Copies of this chain bind each other. A is one copy, B any other.
Amino acid sequence: MPFTERSESTRTAIVSTARRLFADRGYQGTTIRAVAAEAGIDPSMVMRYYGNKEGLFAAAVDIDLGLPSAADLPRDRIGEAIAGHVLRRWEGELADELIILLLRSACTNETAAEQLRQVFQRQVLPLVREISGDAPDADRRAALLGTQVIGLAMCRYVLRLPSMVAMDRPTLVASLAPVLRHYLLGDLDRDLDGAPRP
Contact = CB atoms under 8 A, between A and B. Distances in A.
Nearest to A26: B108
Given A26-B28, A148-B151, A181 B193 contact: yes
Interface residues of A, number: 59
Contact of A143 (B121, B142, B147, B155): B155
Interface string A93-107: 000000000011111
Contacts of A26: 28, 107-108
B158 A107 contact: yes
A26 B113 CA distance: 13
A93 B190 CA distance: 28
Give the secondary structure class of A's interface: helix
Interface stretch (A7-15, A49-57, A62-70, A161-169): A161-169
A187 B193 contact: yes
Interface in A88-147: 103-108, 113, 116-117, 120-121, 125, 139-140, 142-144, 146-147
A25 interface: yes
A136 B155 CA distance: 21
Contacts of A47: none
Interface of A: 25-29, 103-108, 113, 116-117, 120-121, 125, 139-140, 142-144, 146-152, 154-156, 158-164, 166-167, 171, 174-176, 178-179, 181-182, 185-194
